[in-house]
Structure formats: C-alpha cells, structure tokens
C-alpha cells in the first residue's frame, strides 16, 4: 500500500499490530455480500420446507437488511470509540452462532429470528471501508475501496451459483453450513491480520453518538448517502424480486437461476475496477454521476424490452450488468465522499451511510415481494428499479450543482 497514513506501521500480512492487508479487507467485505445472496436460489425450497408462502420466506431478505441497517447506526460510533478490530471479531462470532441457529431452526419464526441475528456480519463490511478511510485521503480511499469492492464483487458472481448447486444436491441447509465454514475462516484471518487502524478516541461512547447531528447537518453527506442509497436500491429490489421472476416468470431451476443471478456482479466488478484505476484522476463526484447514469440507463432499457414484449432471461439478467456497473462506480466513490465529510467520524459516517442504504434496501426488498405476482410478471420490479435509479442520479446531480455554485462564489472577484 502506498501513501498510507504516516502514523500507522507498515502492512505486514499476518501481523496483528500492523494495518490489515488489502486481501483481509476484501474477504471481510466479501463475506457480508456472500451472506446476503448465497441462499437466495433456495428461497422456494425453504418456503416448502417451512410450509409457508414465498412472500413470508422472502422476509428473510428484508429482515436481514433491516436489522443490518439498525446495527450499522451503532457499529460506527462504537468502533470509533473502541476500535475496528474488536468490533469486527465480535460481529463474526455472533454471525457464526446465528448461522448454526438457522441450520437447526424448526419453524419459520425461529429461522427468521436467527436470520436477523446473522446481520451481525455487517460489521465486517462497514468497518473494512472505515479502515480504508482511516489510512487514506478521500480520492485515494475511493480508489482503494474500489479495489476492495472489486474483489468483493467476485462473491456475488459465484455464490448464488454455488448456493443453487448445494441446494439441488444436498438441500438448503448445506448452503448455511458453507456460510458457517466461510465465516469461521474469515474470523481466523481477521484475528491474525486485522491490526487496529482507528486513532484512539478520548470521547465517551455517549459523546460519540452526540456527533451524529454534525453529519446530519451536512448537505454533502446527505447527497452522497442518498445517491448511494437510491443507486443500490435498484440492486436490493433485484435481490428481493429476481428469485420470483426467475422461477415463476421464466420457470428456471435453482441451479440455473443461481448461474444467471450473478449477472450484476460482472458489471459491479468492472465498475469497481474502473473506480480503482481512475477515481484519483476524475474525482468522486464525476464517478458517482457516471455510475448513477449507467444504473438508470440499464433499468430503462430493460423496462422498454419488456414493454415491447421481448422480455427474456437473457434481457432481464443481461441488463442487470449495467445496473451492477453503475453500482460499482457509485458505491465506492459515494462511500469515500461520505467518509470524507468529517474524517474524524469515518466509522460513524460509514455506519450511518450504510444504515440509510441498507434500510432503504430492506424496504424495497419487502415491498417488491408483495407487489410481484404471476399476473404482474416482472413489471413491478422493473419500475421500482428504474425509479430508484433516477432518484440516485438526481441526488448526485444536486451535489455537483451545489459544489459548482460554491466554487463560483469562492472565485468571484470582490
């Protein structure tokens, strides 16, 4: 790593007293993504196992996202006070216990309770980003977050396919055993390599929470947060609705659905690669603007294809690569922007921004599960994805406009 903060020791993989290696941060972020979507092709089979409706089973997505959003509000200030390392390790430990609960659940109510507790893994995603911002300046942090999430993007490419195959061969519980094994390996790596990156805070935890208004009063923070929230909203709606569309509209098997389901991750990988290469050259605002534009364009084209009567698995999942590309450009850059509004509150900003994004995703995921029916086809999902993408584009456009106005005022002759 270059340009690392001067008061941090050099990175040494496997040394608990040095900053974490980039590979460790990638795996921490990737674990959260894996838990979110690896089991999705199994939703219909799980609904049958627990003898419940698909809409109820689909709540396992919304509940997970909702609790993750609430958790992130507290994770940021707690990690700013006590450090990134201990909070990540505690989060991974709780996740492992919750995963065992999911495996041995005897009712849908018990499963949903433990699924909610699995959201503790969100600490690894939130704090891996905060650790990057601890070490780098804004544009450099955007670049590094791009590389972290580029590696993370490989997970949604392959995890639904692996989950679908495990479901067909061994049943849905095998998916959660795989998550347990991955979580245990990640926890071991974090224990060995996750050195502390946060500067010690002398403030009490109560004082840390009192600093939330400092972020909430910042128009820049809200602009970046809403751009990220609305842009990712298209993807979270997809998470909630794509299993239904794939199996009920297109008649796909879990394994086939798992293969197609990872299509957005291809675009996400490319978007993060572009971010890693060019964020320092073009700046976060321009990258977010391009990302939101790509997201909206993909949603528009997909909806037009269905309106014309030519909707197919190839068009539906294929256009999601553009949505993924948009998110790959938007999320790391908007995150770096949020974390740079008040650098001394990087953990708090990461948690609050993540809560806004994930909370909105939980709502959209649950709502789309209610709206989708065999009669409606894919249209409620497509419209929801398009509307959220356009709102994301409007959010970052306002940030860019405001900063241009401020720049003109600063250069206005007296």
DSSP string, 231-251: HHHHHHHHHHHHHHIIIIIS-
Predicted confidence at residue 354, as pLDDT, reads: 73
Question: Looking at 97-101, 146-150, 315-319, which range is the least confident one?
Answer: 146-150
pLDDT digits (tens, 9 = 90+) for 254-313: 778 877 877 887 888 888 788 878 877 888 888 999 999 998 998 899 999 998 888 888
Q: Is residue 293 part of a domain?
A: yes
Structural domains of the chain, count: 1
CA dihedral angle for residue 345, residue 348, residue 353, residue 359, rounded to 10 degrees: -170
pLDDT digits (tens, 9 = 90+) for 64-79: 877 887 887 787 778 7
Q: Is residue 116 part of a domain?
A: yes
pLDDT band at 414 (very low <50, low <70, confident <90, very high): very low
Name the more confident of 299 and 131.
299
Which range marks the domain in which residue 190 is found? Answer: 22-411
Place of tokens 């500067």: 199
What CATH number should be reported for the domain holding residue 267?
1.20.1250.20
pLDDT digits (tens, 9 = 90+) for 81-98: 777 888 889 999 999 999
Q: Is residue 287 part of a domain?
A: yes
Q: Is residue 4 part of a domain?
A: no
Between the CA of residue 267 and those of 153, 157, 274, 295, 323, what are the distances in Å? 9, 10, 11, 10, 7
- For residue 8, pLDDT beyond 50: no
Q: Give the CA angle between residues 81, 82, 85 to the nearest 5°.
A: 130
Q: Is residue 197 part of a domain?
A: yes
Q: Is residue 166 part of a domain?
A: yes
- Whether residue 88 contacts residue 123, with contact meaning beta carbons closer than 8 Å, is answered with yes
pLDDT digits (tens, 9 = 90+) for 334-374: 887 887 777 666 667 777 777 777 777 667 767 777 777 77
pTM of the predicted protein model: 0.66
- Whether residue 265 contacts residue 152, with contact meaning beta carbons closer than 8 Å, is answered with no
Q: Is residue 9 part of a domain?
A: no
Q: Is residue 16 part of a domain?
A: no
Helix, strand and coil content of the chain, in percent to the nearest 5, comes to 80, 0, 20
Predicted confidence at residue 183, as pLDDT, reads: 92
- For residue 6, pLDDT beyond 70: no
């Amino acid at each position: 790593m270059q340009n690392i903060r001067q008061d941090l020791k050099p990175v040494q993989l496997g040394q608990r007293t040095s900053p974490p290696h980039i590979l460790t941060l990638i795996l921490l972020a990737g674990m959260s993504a894996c838990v979110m979507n690896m089991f999705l092709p199994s939703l219909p089979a799980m609904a049958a196992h627990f003898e419940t409706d698909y809409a109820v089973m689909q709540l396992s997505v919304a509940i997970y996202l909702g609790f993750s959003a609430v958790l992130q509000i507290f994770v940021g200030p707690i990690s700013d006070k006590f450090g990134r390392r201990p909070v990540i390790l505690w989060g991974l430990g709780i996740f492992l216990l919750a995963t065992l609960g999911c495996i041995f659940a005897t009712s849908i109510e018990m499963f949903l309770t433990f699924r909610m507790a699995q959201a503790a893994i969100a600490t690894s995603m939130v704090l891996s980003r905060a650790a990057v911002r601890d070490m780098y300046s804004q544009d450099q942090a955007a670049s590094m977050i791009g590389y972290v999430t580029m590696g993370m993007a490989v997970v949604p490419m392959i995890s639904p396919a692996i989950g679908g195959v495990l479901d067909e061969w061994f049943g849905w519980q095998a998916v959660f055993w795989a998550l347990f094994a991955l979580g245990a390996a990640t926890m071991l790596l974090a224990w060995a390599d996750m050195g502390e990156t946060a500067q010690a805070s002398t403030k009490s935890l109560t004082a840390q929470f009192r600093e939330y208004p400092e972020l909430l009063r910042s128009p820049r923070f809200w602009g970046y947060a809403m751009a990220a929230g609305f842009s990712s909203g298209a993807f979270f709606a997809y998470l909630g609705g794509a299993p239904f569309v794939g199996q009920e509209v297109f008649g796909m098997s879990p394994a086939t659905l798992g293969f197609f389901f990872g299509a957005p991750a291809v675009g996400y990988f490319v978007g993060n690669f572009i971010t890693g290469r060019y964020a320092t050259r073009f700046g976060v605002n321009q990258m977010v603007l391009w990302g939101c534009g790509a997201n909206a364009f993909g949603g528009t084209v997909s909806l037009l294809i269905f309106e014309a009567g030519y909707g197919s698995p190839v068009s539906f999942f294929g256009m999601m690569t553009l949505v993924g590309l948009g998110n790959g450009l938007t999320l790391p850059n908007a995150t770096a922007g949020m974390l740079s509004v008040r650098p001394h509150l990087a953990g708090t900003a990461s948690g609050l921004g993540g809560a806004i994004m994930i909370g909105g995703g939980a709502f959209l995921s649950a709502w789309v599960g209610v709206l989708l029916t065999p009669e409606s086809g894919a249209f409620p999902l497509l419209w929801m994805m398009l509307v959220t993408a356009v709102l994301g584009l409007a959010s970052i456009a306002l940030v860019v406009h405001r900063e241009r106005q401020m720049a003109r005022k600063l250069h206005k002759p007296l």
